Structure 1
Amino acid sequence: MKNHLLPITLALLLFVSCNNTENKTTLSIQSDEFYINDQPTLKGKVWRNYSIQGLLPNVRMVQGIYDDLNPETVNRWAYPDTKTWDANRNTKEFIEAMSLWKENGLLAFTINLQGGSPEGYSKTQPWHNSAITEKGELRSDYMNRLKQILTEADRLGMVAIVGVYYFGQERRMESEEAIKTGLINAVDWILENSFQNVLLEVCNESSFLYSYSILQEKRVHELINLAKSRQVEGRSLLVGTSFLGNHIPTDTVAAVSDFILIHGNAVEKWEGIVEQINKTKALKGYKGQPIVYNEDDHEDFDQPMNNFVAATSQKVSWGYFDYRRKGEAFECGYQNPPVDWGINSERKKAFFKILSEWK
């Protein structure tokens, strides 16, 4: 006797299996607020008499998929216990720490396909860290690591600000056309993998520091438009780019960006944060979209007013940049490989202590 229920059972199992792989976190923007799964972030919450609804507190953690393809420099990043560098361990420990960040109030982090300076700040970059080849193709090992991180972020309800280019590493690209190809491939990869918890940062700090003019202030809007034009099944990404610390975007970039990224490095007093925000909002191209700091190396978290609080007072999201200073212990900083991705240094504890008040 035939079992007519078997095909139906198999079909149901397949349906459940497919549903279990569906992404859980969807990011959107309404006016100047971020929404996760159709609800404003931090809905209805007030902190120190400031509304924090719609904000996206974040940390610069750009080395989550870091590797060094230069055999002459790779040993610089050796772990203190094994005396060797391990890119997969780096990503594994990043992922293991993500739930702790979320439990302490973090909603977003910045990661970059070309990382950032593994020294915090650098004049030269002999190391080779890039998920993008000189022709604009994507390196599968890097992208596999990124997929693991974005998948965990999706599970946790977190947002990833995914940067594509970083000055110093972009010099390895063979042409402007390769830069466009790399951007297209990165955007398409995110869309094809159905990640909807991503903000795309075309490049970190568009400026004269880039060797290609299309990554500089006067032309970077071309890449923003290119990234926004890519669609998969009717879906596209939210796109913007950042500028140097204590700078504001160009009118053109403000006009085409879905959100505004600014940096607080070199803003030495909290009053300067308010001034920077006001100048950004006064741009002719500004349309009222969310403003986000996704890099600021200032602290003073124990003070009643600091850059974090100043940005929050203006209903602007703030992002912490913590790097290991020379001579500091392994647990310090989120930028210098090998990174301790936990919350184990005094600076990290101070930041997350104030952020945990938002929960």
Structure 2
Amino acid sequence: MHKPQKRWRRGITRYWMFAVLAAALVGAMSAIPAQGESTGEPNSSRQGQVHVLPGHLIGADYEPDKFYVRQGEGEWELTYTPGWQGEDFSEAVRGTLPNLRSANAVFDDESGNVHDHDPDFDPQSNTDQFIANLDSYKANGLLATDVNLQGGNPNFDATNPAFNSDGSLRPEWMDRLGKVIEAHAERNMVVVLGYFYFRQTGVFDDEDAVRKATTNVTDWLIDNDYRNVVIEIANEHNDDDYPDIISSDEGMAELIKLAQSRFDNAAFRLAVSASRYGDASILQGPAADAADLSFVHCNGKDAQGCADAVADQQGDYDRPIVLNETDNTKGEYTDDTFDEDKKSIDAMVATGASWGYMLNQWNQYIPCRYHDDCGSTKFDYALGPDPGVNGSGEELMENFTAGVLEHLKSVVYSSASESED
């Protein structure tokens, strides 16, 4: 009688051992996040990448109106710290983010109108071409580019939604954007990421869809541990073509706070803001109070006028000001406009704010808006081999931009002693 009892007890023991092991296995499996689910912990594949923040979001010991970067869990350092981007930087540019407007880097056109201008256009090839030129931008002193999920004006009627009508994300756009952000991270560069563009927000069913889109993109950044990003909720948010949730100061404040709130339980945070029209104004009212930095567009100002407006606004909020859209040429590519573009670099650097460049006909418009003979039949992100006002058509665009960025390089890579002379 005793032997069967022992076997019964051994069976019970084995049963409970298996039950405990099974429970542990289930618990372990439940701890594994579903694809796309944020755990608040960095992805191991992204550890060590560059993280960018304004000083006021880091702590009281940091300059509030300057940008800082760090590698992984390293020390926070002002941008243009030797070893991060290179050597021999001018003190005047430290803590800034010189940037290049490249709004259509993840562009597609579901209307098909793009093929009237470039029969061979392919969205992935467009993104790949942009990425292929990042090294040349960095070599000229640029730290950031400005990319918008819904693009910018390509100078024809295009359908570039990036979102579904309910605010869910279109995977094709997000795949291209992921490649862009990661390519910047590999080069210790930053993406100023715009969510919305006024010509494309008609895709949304209602304002709740806009809120969901804001949440979804921000969560996507968190899930992928993308830390080399500054968020621009909307390009020129006060445009009347936007829904009220974007165009009004109160609505924009809500969206900025919504994006910021998504980082409450994340392992990191990103800076959030939006831009206004090209009159050099910064956010107003509650939107200004909510923002982490100020974006400025200066399409309606000359170089000195833009710098003066920025200088006037620097005392309003103790945070960085980033010029991320300006056009000093107005379609005229002459020695005078070339000098004006170079003056815009010098004038903005003198304020301590971040200079940004836009030349629509070089890397945004298809074809050129101001000159019928421009010859631009495609997106072209390349810098020309003969910097300055040289050549014609597309060649002129490439050389003109190369000359402007060559001047930026001379400003950025001046030694500290030279900048003080």
Question: TM-score, normalised on structure 1?
Answer: 0.83
Identity percentage of aligned residues: 27
Matching of residues 93-108 of structure 1 within 5 Å: 93-108=129-144
Q: CA deviation digits over 1:310-346, x for unaligned, max 9?
A: 111110101101111333545x6xxxx7311111212
1:353 aligns with 2:406: yes
1:297 aligns with 2:327: yes
Could you say which residue in structure 1 is the equivalent of 2:77?
39
Once the two structures are overlaid, the 10-residue window that deviates more, 305-314 or 345-354, is: 305-314
1:57 aligns with 2:98: yes
Displacement after TM superposition at 1:305 (Å)? 6.7
Answer yes or no: is the 8 Å Cα contact 2:165–2:203 preserved in 1: yes
Q: CA deviation digits over 1:135-158, x for unaligned, max 9?
A: 101010110011111111000000
Displacement after TM superposition at 1:209 (Å)? 2.2
Question: 1-side partners of 2:183 and 2:299: how far apart?
Answer: 29
Could you say which residue in structure 2 is the equivalent of 1:314?
351
Question: 2-side partners of 1:301 and 1:41: how far apart?
Answer: 27
Could you say which residue in structure 1 is the equivalent of 2:254?
222
Question: 1-side partners of 2:225 and 2:161: how far apart?
Answer: 23
Give unpaired runs (5+ residues) of structure 2. 1-42, 56-63, 71-75, 83-87, 330-336, 362-367, 385-397, 414-421
Matching of residues 5-24 of structure 1 within 5 Å: 19=44, 21-22=46-47, 24=49
1:26 aligns with 2:51: yes
Could you say which residue in structure 2 is the equivalent of 1:5?
none
Could you say which residue in structure 1 is the equivalent of 2:201?
170
User: Relative to 1, partners in 2 of residues 1:155 and 1:305: Cα closer, same or farther, differing over 3 Å?
Assistant: closer
Secondary structure class of the residue paired with 1:311: helix
Q: CA deviation digits over 1:144-185, x for unaligned, max 9?
A: 011111111000000000000001101221100000001110
Question: 1-side partners of 2:133 and 2:341: how far apart?
Answer: 29
More helix, by proportion: 2
Displacement after TM superposition at 1:77 (Å)? 4.2
Answer yes or no: is the 8 Å Cα contact 1:23–1:155 preserved in 2: no
Secondary structure class of the residue paired with 2:67: strand
Question: 1-side partners of 2:266 and 2:341: how far apart?
Answer: 48
Answer yes or no: is the 8 Å Cα contact 1:301–1:354 preserved in 2: no
The one of 174, 187, 196 aligned to 1:156:
187
User: Relative to 1, partners in 2 of residues 1:228 and 1:20: Cα closer, same or farther, differing over 3 Å?
Assistant: closer
Displacement after TM superposition at 1:236 (Å)? 2.6
Answer yes or no: is the 8 Å Cα contact 1:27–1:197 preserved in 2: yes
1:235 aligns with 2:294: no
2:136 maps to a residue whose letter is L
Could you say which residue in structure 2 is the equivalent of 1:8?
none
Displacement after TM superposition at 1:214 (Å)? 1.2
Secondary structure class of the residue paired with 1:68: coil
Answer yes or no: is the 8 Å Cα contact 1:217–1:250 preserved in 2: no
Question: TM-score, normalised on structure 2?
Answer: 0.72
1:264 aligns with 2:315: no
User: Relative to 1, partners in 2 of residues 1:213 and 1:59: Cα closer, same or farther, differing over 3 Å?
Assistant: same
Answer yes or no: is the 8 Å Cα contact 1:59–1:109 preserved in 2: yes
User: Relative to 1, partners in 2 of residues 1:348 and 1:274: Cα closer, same or farther, differing over 3 Å?
Assistant: closer
CA RMSD between the two structures: 2.1
Answer yes or no: is the 8 Å Cα contact 2:238–2:248 preserved in 1: yes
Answer yes or no: is the 8 Å Cα contact 2:53–2:270 preserved in 1: no
Question: 1-side partners of 2:226 and 2:292: how far apart?
Answer: 17
Displacement after TM superposition at 1:192 (Å)? 0.6
1:129 aligns with 2:160: yes
Answer yes or no: is the 8 Å Cα contact 1:187–1:237 preserved in 2: no
1:318 maps to a residue whose letter is W
1:281 maps to a residue whose letter is Q
Question: 2-side partners of 1:274 and 1:94: how far apart?
Answer: 29
Question: 1-side partners of 2:255 and 2:169: how far apart?
Answer: 18
Q: CA deviation digits over 1:174-210, x for unaligned, max 9?
A: 1000000011100000111001000000000011423
Answer yes or no: is the 8 Å Cα contact 1:248–1:276 preserved in 2: no
Displacement after TM superposition at 1:309 (Å)? 1.7
Displacement after TM superposition at 1:243 (Å)? 0.4
Answer yes or no: is the 8 Å Cα contact 2:328–2:340 preserved in 1: no
Could you say which residue in structure 2 is the equivalent of 1:68?
109
Give unpaired runs (5+ residues) of structure 1. 1-17, 120-124
Question: 1-side partners of 2:127 and 2:48: how far apart?
Answer: 20
Answer yes or no: is the 8 Å Cα contact 1:227–1:237 preserved in 2: no
1:196 aligns with 2:227: yes
Answer yes or no: is the 8 Å Cα contact 1:249–1:280 preserved in 2: no
